[in-house]
Amino acid sequence: EMPIDRRALLKAGGVLAAAAATGTAAASAAAAAAPVKMRRIATEEAWSIPEHLDAMQVLTQSDWNNLDIENLRLPGGIAATGLGANLLDTRRRLAEMDRLGVDMHILSLTSPGVQLFDADKGAALATLANDRMADIVAANPTRFAGLASFAPQDPARAVKEMERAINRLKLNGFIVNSHTDNEYLDEPKYWPILEAAEALDRPIYIHPRCPSDGMAAPFRDYRLRAAIWGFQAETGTHLMRLMLSGIFDRFPKLQVVVGHMGENVPFHLWRSDHWYRRRPHSYPSRLAPSEVMKRNVHITTSGVEHGPALRYALEVLGPDRVLWAIDYPYEEMAPSVAFMNSVQLAEPHRAAVFHQNAERVFHIPAA
């Protein structure tokens, strides 16, 4: 085993932070120049614990050719860039939040979470991470909320952890990193997880990971596996499977959240609806994709600072379906804050995206 040197990570992270401070001076100035006096809740903010980073580092020493493992091995991975320090250090995170006027981060265990491990290891890491997250939230209840991890590898144990996370730890929802063992949540074996989320009245945030083995081959070249295309292709496919499978007929109150302005799905809704209506008997769902999106799906802005895309999403999905997110530390805070401060929006829509929708979806008390 080759555990990550966390002192080196913290040192590297300090160098990275200094460089980022210089590189984002213009964005920070823009944020300061366009102050918006309203609460800011960021909803997809990665975090980790040392044991989780160490366990992922061990996997990179194997000969497993899984795309997520390959992504972790690449130059610019967590250990190489100092990202690990920013995942671990909540004090540094709070200082940057204070500097930029970010009121709250909703923390979630960084992708690919616990889904690369066997069921026992994954469940144990999820429990440990949830306990640590709950401690952070309890110590800073106005600054942090949290999404609980669970190991879908063992659905029965996952349900117990979900119940514990909400009823005992008082966390705010759940995080799952798309596929598990190349399977998706529409598979009947995972229905108890969906049933539990609906019963607990908490959303499942479906976060990206690299494409599953069945669609991996074309993504091995040109670094397509990750955020430039693979993440949204994988997660958008997962969302479309859920919407067309009839899952939301079976669990009509279930809510899911996807990031990155909807993983491309909103921009194809007209065509999806068109073909759904031309072949209505081909799809188990009783609702068209756009009907499901407007009833059961929320999207976040994570990693997409593009005014036309945001305005399109608000128009097509409605202002109650879009939430702000940064995707820290994979994206920097300052440009995201500057974008939301200055993007051309109706002020009621800005307030909905910045905080009101997050308060409702994740059961966060209004300030």
Give the SS3 label for residue 49: coil
SS3 state at 5: coil
How much is the pLDDT for 293?
98
Partner residues linked to 144 by β-bridges: 105
pLDDT at 30: 47
**C-alpha torsion 115→118→124→127, nearest 10:** 20
How far is 204 from 174, CA to CA, in rounded Å?
5
pLDDT at res. 4: 41
How much of the chain, in percent, has pLDDT values that exceed 70?
Answer: 88
Pairing of strands 41-47, 322-323: unpaired
pLDDT tens for 234-265 read: 999 999 999 999 999 999 999 999 999 999 99
What is the mean pLDDT of the segment spanning 69-78? 76
> What is the tens place of the pLDDT at every residue in 12-49?
344 334 334 444 445 444 443 455 689 999 999 999 99
DSSP state, 107?
E
In this predicted model, what pLDDT tens digit does every residue of 195-204 receive, in sequence order? 999 999 999 9
pLDDT above 90 (res 73): no
pLDDT for 272-286, tens place per residue?
A: 999 999 999 999 999
pLDDT at 79: 53
Q: How many other C-beta atoms can be found within 10 angstroms of the C-beta atom of residue 164?
A: 17
User: Which residues, other chains included, contact 87 with Cβ-Cβ below 8 Å and sequence gap of 6+?
Assistant: 46, 47, 48, 53, 78, 110, 329
Rounded Cα–Cα distance for residues 53 and 270 (Å)? 41
C-alpha to C-alpha distance for 65 and 86, rounded to whole angstroms = 27
Q: What is the mean pLDDT of residues 184-201?
A: 98
Q: Output the pTM of the full model.
A: 0.90
338, containing H or E segment? helix 333-342
**In this predicted structure, what is the pLDDT of residue 37?**
83
Q: What pLDDT is recorded for position 78?
A: 63
Tokens 């999207």 identify what position?
A: 299
